[in-house]
Structure 1
Amino acid sequence: MDEERQSTDEPNLSSRTQPSSLRNYRPLAQLVNFIGHSPIACRSETTHYYRVSSNGQYGAGYCSVIPPFQSRVFGIPSTIHSGKTFLRTEPIPTQAYISQNGSGTIEDPFVVEFRHDDPRNPMNFSPARKWLITAIGTLSVFAITLTSSAYTGSAEKIIAEFDVSSEVFALGISLFVLGFALGPALWAPLSELYGRQILFIITHAFLVAFVAASAGCKSMASLLVFRFLTGTFGASPLTNSGGLIADLFPPAQRGLAMSIFAAAPFMGPVLGPLLGGFITITIGWRWVQAVCCIFIGIVWIVGIILVPETYGPVLLHKIAKHDSRKTRKVYISVMERNNGGVKVSEVIAKALKRPWILLFREPIVLIASTYMAILYGTIYMFIGAFPIVYEQSRGWNAGIGGLAFLGLAIGMLIGLIYTMIDNGRYKKLGKMATPESRLPPAMIGAIALPIGMFAFAWTNSPNIHWSASIILSAPFGFGAVLVFLSCLNYLLDAYTIYAASVLAAGAMLRSFFGAAFPLFTTQMYANLGIHWASSIPAFLTVACLPFPFVMYKYGAELRMKCKYAQEAAVMMAHLQTEAPGSLEALDEESSSM
């Protein structure tokens, strides 16, 4: 709420002349006012004042209380009834900001919002605490993506023990990644209703149970079922950990945190086969699942202890419920005011419908999401292809074969470092930055992708030294990170008010590609050979190469022809020129879709 409203809406609390704003009170004036001027109670640790009327009703605003009154004891002078000051040991309820609009009734409730410096607002956590929570969220994503691919290091042992084909074994990867596709539609809306913390606790409990069950499976069918369930519940950290970072860091400070977080979904899949291979040849394939279970369990326990609820609307809802119970007045959060009595089924239905609307009606979303999906599918294709190229063709064991992924991993790390450096270029643009300003790294990545893939495809023969193909796979890892992160940020900037749905659309499409590519990898390599089979995805990246260049040159014009991109641009321009109250219009506009 702006300062003008805070001053003009303030009622006259006594017959004496009141200042227009209590924010300007000096300590001596505050002390005089506190002792006998008007019925105002101050509480220092909240930096609020509460207006108290003769019938016990009060409103809220800001004041700065002098140090001697830093306690939970309230001095409330009753100028109407007894004329005496009495002590009140029951705290006036909230540390959050209460809108001046409202009378505390069902028809006209108080609306609770965070004040600027509220310590319970996750944006105001200390940097150390923010980075600790970020690290735990990143480890959670790393653990689940590591589990998705560590399974491939056990291919030979699982195929032999359960007497299945390599195609059936590949289903274990595909079903796991297919489970990821359910995440945006299920866990994202639930986190908006119930918060991040409860979902973290519940889904990780199921993750531990399902991965532990995978370690003890007696049949391939049961292993595939538990792999699918693990992927489905593992989609929760994949979906919500990014939101966790958005809860903690404002946009201007989010770049480094998101770059570090982005390492997890890339590094997990490429390091999983290395871990799985060495564990399999040392103590058996079941211990691969057991080690992943222990890893996820440790992250779960640490998260329960150290990760609080960070989703602001849910925190405000809890504050509003507490205040309503304590004061017998009606308090609601901003989310409740804007959404009303929304049902869980309605939220999930909208989450299922809106991403597909954006995907198939917005060309920008379709192009960028398809490009990212091809890269995601190729990464999981490589997870199935590398054992063919290095273990079957060269006779390496599963542990040594996993080392072949180090080329990809190093390329991805270089890409992440480049992204962090390029973030400085973007910041220098300031207000001149457009969504297309995110795309220069994607242009570099688009060129690096086919170079790395063709180089790998035609140097992976057994008669060429193994180091050539591993080193030359690094440009693919480098380019994949640049394209992926640039396109992701481009969509976020272009579809600000619809960002959640755009990300959900991309995540579901990527998961479908990631699930499909491993299914035909074995047959493709058997029929085409290791050179041409590796070249197929390289040709796809050549076909996609113009995308970032075209979007960079014509993106602004194209966005204005896309309905929802245009709405997002108009709404953000409106927010930059209107009062903070226009945030209400933002939510109403986005919810009407």
Structure 2
Amino acid sequence: MSGPPAHPGLYRHPTRSEIIEQAVAEGHDADIPTSVGSLRQISSNVSTPHAASKSPHPTAATTDLEKGAISSDEDGEIEEINEEEEDPDVVFWDGPNDPENPMNWPANKRWGTVAVVSGLTFLTPLASSNFAPGVPEVMKDFHSTSDLLSGFMVSVYVLGFAFGPMIIAPLSEIYGRLPLYHTCTVIFLIFTVAAGVSTNMTMFIVFRFIMGSFGAAPMVLGGGTIADLISREQRGTAMSVWMMGPTIGPCVGPIIGGFLTQAKGWRWNFYFVAIVGGAFLIGAIIFMKETSAPVILERKAKRLRAETGNPKLRSKLASDLSTNDLFKFSIARPLKMLFLSPICFAISVYIAITYAYLYILFTTFTRVFSTQYHWTGGIIGLSFLGLGIGSLTGQIVFTHFGNRLTQKHMERGDFVPEHRLYIMTPGAILLPIGFFIYGWGVQYHVHWIVPLIGTWFVGFGLMLIFMPSTTYLVDVFTIHAASAMAASTVLRSLCAAFIPLSSEKMYAAMGYGWGNSLLGFVGFACAPIPFLFIKYGDRIRGKSTLIL
């Protein structure tokens, strides 16, 4: 019934860093069980008393977060497991080749699941902005002239991204990932169609919010699914494909939406998403099975208790956390970190500002290019092209050069989290420069390629800010990295939903030149953040007193 951890060729306890890495990929903190264990369990070694006496582990302390939790289980110590001395009442995988272990599923089944999850993760962010070129038609159909509502009908979707994960994440720990995928996708599709058939503004905005709330599921669960299925050696490729959804999807959406609006009307943007989403749902029903190791093993333990009559059988990955604890960790802990940690607060604010800038552009591109360049129909969707190409380029540059820089310091043995921020520094400068080029280009009707070049700089800079800062939070907060990222996600989603609402008034009062220059000046004001943490981050972490 019990067996060694699911690492081919290894019969040992996972190290602290392996548990942390797995927890981050699964989207929760490392004191909640992962598919390889948790830092709560690493101290007890209930299944290996011999190993415990050989090298005892203190409880993984939740101490000074920005210094990292204290643990004697560092990466250098690997303990051999003596299977004969394992607790016979602990249920685990039946050896390293157990077919129930998702890591051992056939390659086509594992990568088919990754493809479906990546498709859903591309579709739901795409749906946040795909109808943006059709906003004037929506306003006309609903007999509204409100600049506030014209922006909010786009950005309200992102408001759902702030609230949905707070419920989805803890529920997935209780019921598994698969029921959440299916349930959230069905609800997302229902309200996507509902938004497409809306007859008034109130219906439309409410349905868009619900779409965003349930459309967040693939982004909340996808990283964990990939971590369940793909080995560490191959995971980088899978994660890169999956991450293209949140980063590139919102920029691709309006390009498709512009031509679709011209050909079929704005409502078909929602029907298109529903049709594609329905195809992915069918694929999910056919290809996907539960991948969460704690859930699979809990079901196995329940089945064996019924078959053997032994009520003592328990999953090795069983959690001692109550449902209330899971929701507390999902909601209260991120908020506490956001307001009490200077690193989490500063980085999250910076990410939130840049993310809000993205949705300022999404909500105003249609009007800017229709009034300044007289673009109409599907051509308006091409105004998003510079931003999309810049974002893709930034992601490629970060993946290549950021990883090389990190690897170099790791090989030297002098790596600190602040090394993640070096590649962030050019992004901090290029982002505001892009707004100056874009703003004054459209102000003076310069050839359309100039503002598109400006938005290329914006997209490129945004990725070089967003991606390094996210990995920095992971490295700083280690076992509570998921809570730090959740705090950042909530703040950036709120800012992206509400800050763009003032953009039309800003442009009306200041013009496109000075309006975008204001955004550039704010960007320059934030630019010292990575430089300050590169110089003083280690000192700030050393003085941290945040305790959860």
Amino acid at match of 2:118: T
Contact in 2 for aligned 1:152/1:383 (Cα 8 Å): yes
Q: Which residue of 1 aligns with 2:128?
A: 148
The 1:280/1:118 distance shift into structure 2, 3 A limit, reads same
Q: Which residue of 2 aligns with 1:318?
A: 299
Contact in 2 for aligned 1:112/1:331 (Cα 8 Å): no
The 1:444/1:261 distance shift into structure 2, 3 A limit, reads farther
The 1:117/1:443 distance shift into structure 2, 3 A limit, reads farther
Q: Which residue of 2 aligns with 1:554?
A: 536
1:533 is displaced (CA, Å) by 1.5
Q: Which residue of 2 aligns with 1:220?
A: 201
Contact in 1 for aligned 2:258/2:377 (Cα 8 Å): yes
1:248 is displaced (CA, Å) by 3.2
Structure 1 residue 518 corresponds to structure 2 residue 507: no
Q: Which residue of 2 aligns with 1:21?
A: none
1:547 is displaced (CA, Å) by 1.2
**Selected match of 1:374 from 353, 377, 387:** 353
The 1:563/1:128 distance shift into structure 2, 3 A limit, reads farther
**Selected match of 1:239 from 217, 220, 230:** 220
1:234 is displaced (CA, Å) by 0.9
1:501 is displaced (CA, Å) by 0.9
Rounded Cα–Cα distance in structure 2 between residues aligned with 1:539 and 1:251:
41
What SS is found at the alignment partner of 1:309?
Answer: coil
Rounded Cα–Cα distance in structure 1 between residues aligned with 2:425 and 2:111:
31
Residue by residue, what CA displacement relative to the aligned partner does 1:369-421 show, whole Å, maximum 9, x if unpaired? 11111111110110012112201222211421110111111111111211221
What SS is found at the alignment partner of 1:540?
Answer: helix
Q: Where in structure 2 are there 5+ consecutive unaligned residues?
A: 5-46, 49-81
Contact in 2 for aligned 1:159/1:166 (Cα 8 Å): no
Between 1 and 2, higher relative CO (CA 8 Å, sep ≥ 6) is seen in 2
The 1:469/1:510 distance shift into structure 2, 3 A limit, reads same
The 1:120/1:446 distance shift into structure 2, 3 A limit, reads farther
Q: Which residue of 1 aligns with 2:270?
A: 289
1:127 is displaced (CA, Å) by 5.4
Contact in 1 for aligned 2:391/2:460 (Cα 8 Å): yes
Q: Which residue of 2 aligns with 1:394?
A: 373
**Selected match of 1:471 from 453, 466, 471:** 453
Q: Which residue of 1 aligns with 2:115?
A: 135
The 1:474/1:154 distance shift into structure 2, 3 A limit, reads same
1:427 is displaced (CA, Å) by 2.9
Amino acid at match of 2:334: P
Amino acid at match of 1:170: G
Q: Where in structure 1 are there 5+ consecutive unaligned residues?
A: 4-58, 61-96, 105-109, 568-592
Amino acid at match of 1:138: S
The 1:115/1:448 distance shift into structure 2, 3 A limit, reads farther
| Percent identity of equivalent pairs | 36
Q: Which has the larger radius of gyration?
A: 1
The 1:354/1:98 distance shift into structure 2, 3 A limit, reads farther
1:200 is displaced (CA, Å) by 0.3
Structure 1 residue 162 corresponds to structure 2 residue 142: yes
What SS is found at the alignment partner of 1:349?
Answer: helix
Amino acid at match of 2:269: V
Amino acid at match of 1:526: A
Rounded Cα–Cα distance in structure 2 between residues aligned with 1:553 and 1:253:
34
What SS is found at the alignment partner of 2:543?
Answer: coil
Q: Which residue of 1 aligns with 2:247?
A: 266
The 1:427/1:307 distance shift into structure 2, 3 A limit, reads farther
Structure 1 residue 418 corresponds to structure 2 residue 405: no
1:98 is displaced (CA, Å) by 8.2
Residue by residue, what CA displacement relative to the aligned partner does 1:113-151 show, whole Å, maximum 9, x if unpaired? 574443433344455544433332222121111111112
Rounded Cα–Cα distance in structure 2 between residues aligned with 1:496 and 1:551:
17
What SS is found at the alignment partner of 1:460?
Answer: helix
1:424 is displaced (CA, Å) by 3.4
Rounded Cα–Cα distance in structure 2 between residues aligned with 1:232 and 1:114:
38
What SS is found at the alignment partner of 1:308?
Answer: coil
Structure 1 residue 529 corresponds to structure 2 residue 500: no
**Selected match of 1:484 from 444, 463, 466:** 466
Q: Which residue of 1 aligns with 2:343?
A: 364
Rounded Cα–Cα distance in structure 2 between residues aligned with 1:425 and 1:531:
37
